[in-house]
Amino acid sequence: MNVRTNQKKRKAVFIDRDGVINNALIINGRPHPPKCWQETLILPGVQQAVDLMHSAGWILIVITNQPDVARGKTTRVEVEKINSFIKSELPPLIIRTCFHDESDNCMCRKPKPGAIITAALDYDIDLSASYMVGDRWSDIEAGNQCGCKTVYIDYGYSEVKPLNFSHKVGSLLEAAKTILKNDSGYDEN
């Protein structure tokens, strides 16, 4: 754990991966991860969003559930290849991955807040000054549970919607502009 003395805690934007950073495969109205790194595409506006938030001093941490590993639908190696591809395209992202399924009752699997809390301890982050950005109810719930402000990207999936979020937007770029505006009076013009 990093120990910083006599310094203000840092702020972070925690970001979901599939559907927020990169493409998600929509099957029956629900998002699914790409099957391999070669199918992984960074979504439009994501590079600009990452650049804006990083330039403003935010630590950017991707928090992703990848239960298809536990379900035997993909391998941990393939998920790590996708993560490596994303990190090579979008530095300086930090990626934290939960490979468990719901039945494993893992504290790092969203909607539980364990992955966010652990990252906050590792990087000396003030959760009340931070944001969680995601496109599913579990992302928003994880952020709410640890006291982050939340930004819901609404793609109109055919699944449960979050009920309690700070902001609703249509993309990560819009989320970045909203966060910067609310944090420091950022003007996109």
Residues 52-59 have a mean pLDDT of: 97
Question: Does the residue 119 lie in any domain?
Answer: yes
Question: Does the residue 3 lie in any domain?
Answer: no
Question: Does the residue 23 lie in any domain?
Answer: yes
Question: Does the residue 6 lie in any domain?
Answer: no
70-123, pLDDT tens digit by residue?
999 999 999 999 999 999 999 899 999 999 999 999 999 999 999 999 999 999
Count of domains observed in the chain: 1
Residue 46 has pLDDT above 90, yes or no: yes
d(CA 17, CA 188): 24
Question: Does the residue 1 lie in any domain?
Answer: no
Question: Does the residue 2 lie in any domain?
Answer: no
Cis peptide before 67 (omega within 30 of 0): no
Domain boundaries, position 61 = 12-184
Which CATH number covers residue 93? 3.40.50.1000
For residue 149, report the phi and psi dihedrals to the nearest 5 degrees.
-75, 150
